[in-house]
Amino acid sequence: MKQEFSKKAISGYPMLLVALMFLAGAVYSLVRIIQTENPWMAIPLASCIILFFLTLVDLFIVNPNDARVLILFGTYKGAVKDNGFYWANPFLVKRKITLRARNLNGEKLKVNDKAGNPIEIAAVVVWQVEDTYKACFDVDRYESYVIVQSEAAVRHLAGAYPYDTFEDDAEETLTLRAGKEQVSTELEKELAERFERAGIKVIEARISHLAYAPEIAEAMLRRQQAVAVVAARTQIVEGAVSMVELALEKLAKNHVVELDEEKKATMVSNLLVVLCSESSASPVVNAGTLYQ
């Protein structure tokens, strides 16, 4: 497989001077025709005009972070990457290609994650041409190639991981929502492999949009809320039990009051109700004993 190689082109300033000399020759031939009325002077006149245009039209400019791929009758002759003013063989095809970094803001794709849930996902890819030969000759229209392969990579990535997990080992499972950095790294690796054929370099790739599909978004939201409520309740109960244990320990240690098992059970029940209740507790003053 051929690779890109740089080509040194002829400076355009001397050739611009040559073009002006041909123009001066054409003007001189025209004046001589008028003065001498010699029809044979039309030959140098036509020659100078043709050479002037051939020299002039083959001048080209290479801007910074641009390149010109040179092709002679279907044969690759190299790429001019040095910016400046140049001239090349009039039979060379000079194909312009930019080396600047470009952004691809991918469309929102509706795919199924690893768990089979329909989700919406999109990615932003920053890329640039690294090998002009591959970009021009190994693929057809490398811009379209980048778009299609980016969508394919995002679809493959979405199907390799679940959107989210509700299991106890959620922290150990890589998900699209919680592991965005790791997922973006995997996306960059896959894009680099896909773009290598086209001579494209991946600078950065990130997930720009991630959500459940509208038809299941509400159900998944309720599921997430239920999981959050259960987790919050678990933490509240654990804290309440710890506080009750601490209260009983302090009362017994400081000999504030002696409680039998029934009184301890009543105290524990009251404290747990107060600590675990969603609303503020309304105290009731007991004017008698604990047994009335």
pLDDT in tens, 37-50: 777 777 877 888 88
**Is-contact 216 117, C-beta < 8 A?**
yes
pLDDT in tens, 247-270: 777 766 766 666 666 666 666 666
Which amino acid would we find at residue 138?
Answer: D
What percent of the residues of the chain are helix, what percent strand, and what percent coil, each to the nearest 5?
50, 20, 25
Q: Which residues are bridge partners to 95 per DSSP? A: 69
Percent of the chain scoring above 70 in pLDDT:
73
Q: What is the pLDDT of residues 112-122, one digit of tens each?
A: 888 788 888 89
pTM (predicted TM-score):
0.67
Write down the pLDDT at residue 175. 82
- Rounded to whole angstroms, the Cα distance separating 184 from 192 reads 12
As a whole number, mean pLDDT of residues 72-84 equals 88
Looking at residue 194, its pLDDT comes to: 92
Residue type at 59 in one-letter notation: L
What is the CA 215 to chain-centroid distance, rounded?
27
pLDDT bucket at 56, cuts 50 / 70 / 90: confident
Q: Which two tokens stand for residue 166?
A: 């509700």
Cβ-count burial 136-167 (b if 16+ within 10 Å, e if not)? bbbbeebeebbeebbbebbeebbeebbbbbee
Output the pLDDT for position 101: 92
Higher pLDDT, 152 or 246: 152
pLDDT of residue 100: 92
Cβ-proximal residues to 192 (8 Å cutoff; 6+ apart), any chain:
201, 202
Location of structure tokens 């504030």: 256
